[in-house]
């Protein structure tokens, strides 16, 4: 396991992923009943944007750096600002002195959004990262940090005992076959917990690969599969992270319209050139007749 998220924390892909995550959690809070978020590849939870790793790549300057800059200059439309508020609040909370020094990863963002009755299970396989995450949440009875292969949790921890919740799967994509693992993992978990919401992150690098992924997802027969993508540039000739994608199974009914407000705004902020674009489509949905 060579992947270290500290090099990429707060980049454009993190921003889009975390904004989607925040909208799903906010929707779950509309009902009083408790829910659980299971974060299968959690990372360390809090990132120092001026630390050695983040400094080396500077990726966050093209992500959260641009968003905060636009917010401070009042360049974000009110409707988008309203939807971004829970996410931005979490970013502000980890920067109590103002400015932008720290960035919350998915477990810390989720934790910030939970109510008293809600729970988070955060899995991380890298021993040092899992230890850091455990220290971050030490004494917090709403959070369970588990050093374990996140793929196993799709069988072991699903369904959650709350019977409501979100499963976030955000693997590093450092190995071959990660797209197939996503589909296989999803099928396994969905069989056990068909009422859950699932958010699966994937990189947009090679068109052929994502088309094959979409086809396999369609073939699972799962009824509601939404695909959200944002590309910061036109496809590069050599594989490069040109965009970010999220598959959402059983999305909140509000998500599509929220994305139609948020994605144009985020594309404008995060896009590097003319070829930037976004899409929200149903791989299989209620309107799907296939
Ligand atoms: N979800 C995090 C966030 O949004 O802040 C970032 C996660 S990062 C993309 C992927 C993480 O998965 C890394 O911290 C890596 O150590 C961890 N990891 C790699 N393989 C894993 C596995 N099989 N199970 C659990 N964690 C794994």
DSSP 209: H
pLDDT at 273: 76
Question: How would DSSP label each residue in 253-283?
Answer: TTHHHHHHHHHHHHHHHH--STT-EEEEEEE
> What pLDDT, in 10s, does the model give residues 182-219?
999 999 999 999 999 999 999 999 989 999 999 999 99
Which residue's C-alpha comes closest to atom 22 of ligand 1?
A: 149
Closest atom of ligand 1 relative to the 39 alpha carbon: 1
- Characterise 177 by phi-psi region: left (phi > 0), alpha (psi -120 to 50), beta (else): left
Cβ neighbours for 76, distance < 8 A, ≥ 6 positions apart: 70, 84, 265, 269
* Phi, psi of 121, rounded to the nearest 5 degrees: -110, 120
User: pTM above the 0.75 mark?
Assistant: yes
Catalytic residue among 170, 180, 184, 238: 170
On whether the CB atoms of residues 25 and 37 are closer than 8 A, the answer is: yes
Q: Using CA atoms, how far apart are residues 284 and 290, in angstroms rounded to an integer?
A: 8
Stretches in the chain below the pLDDT threshold 50: 289-290
pLDDT for 44 = 98
170 is an active site residue: yes
Torsion of CA 21, 15, 261, 118, to 10 degrees: 20
Tell whether omega for the bond before 159 is within 30 degrees of 0, i.e. cis.
Answer: yes
pLDDT at 288: 55
The pLDDT value given to residue 274: 82
Question: CB within 6 Å of ligand 1 — which residues?
Answer: 1, 3, 5, 14, 17, 41-43, 105-106, 123-126, 129, 149-151, 170, 172
pLDDT at 89: 98
Closest C-alpha to ligand 1, atom 12: 41
What pLDDT is stored for residue 289 in this prediction?
Answer: 45
């Amino acid at each position: 396991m060579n992947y270290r998220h500290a090099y990429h924390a707060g980049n454009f892909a993190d921003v889009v992923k975390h904004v989607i995550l925040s909208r799903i959690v906010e929707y779950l809070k509309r009902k009083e009943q408790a829910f659980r978020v299971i974060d299968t590849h959690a990372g360390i939870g809090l990132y120092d944007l001026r630390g050695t790793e983040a400094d080396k790549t500077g990726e966050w300057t093209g992500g959260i750096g641009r968003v905060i800059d636009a917010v401070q200059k009042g360049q974000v439309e009110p409707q988008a600002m309203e939807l971004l508020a829970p996410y931005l609040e979490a970013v502000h909370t980890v920067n109590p002195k103002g400015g932008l020094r720290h960035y919350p990863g998915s477990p810390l963002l989720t934790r910030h959004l939970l109510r008293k009755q809600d729970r988070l299970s955060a899995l991380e396989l890298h021993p040092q990262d899992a230890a850091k995450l455990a220290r971050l949440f030490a004494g917090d009875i709403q959070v369970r940090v588990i050093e374990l292969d996140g793929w196993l949790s799709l069988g072991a921890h699903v369904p959650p005992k709350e019977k409501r919740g979100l499963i976030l799967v955000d693997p590093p994509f450092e190995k071959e076959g990660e797209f197939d693992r996503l589909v296989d993992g999803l099928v396994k978990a969905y069989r056990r917990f068909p009422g859950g919401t699932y958010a699966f992150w994937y990189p947009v690098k090679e068109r052929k690969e994502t088309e094959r992924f979409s086809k396999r997802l369609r073939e699972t027969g799962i009824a509601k599969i939404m695909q959200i993508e944002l590309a910061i540039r036109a496809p590069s000739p050599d594989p490069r992270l040109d965009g970010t994608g999220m598959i959402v199974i059983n999305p909140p009914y509000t998500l599509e319209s929220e994305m139609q407000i948020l994605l144009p705004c985020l594309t404008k902020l995060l896009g590097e050139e003319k070829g930037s674009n976004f899409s929200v489509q149903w791989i299989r949905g209620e309107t799907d007749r296939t």
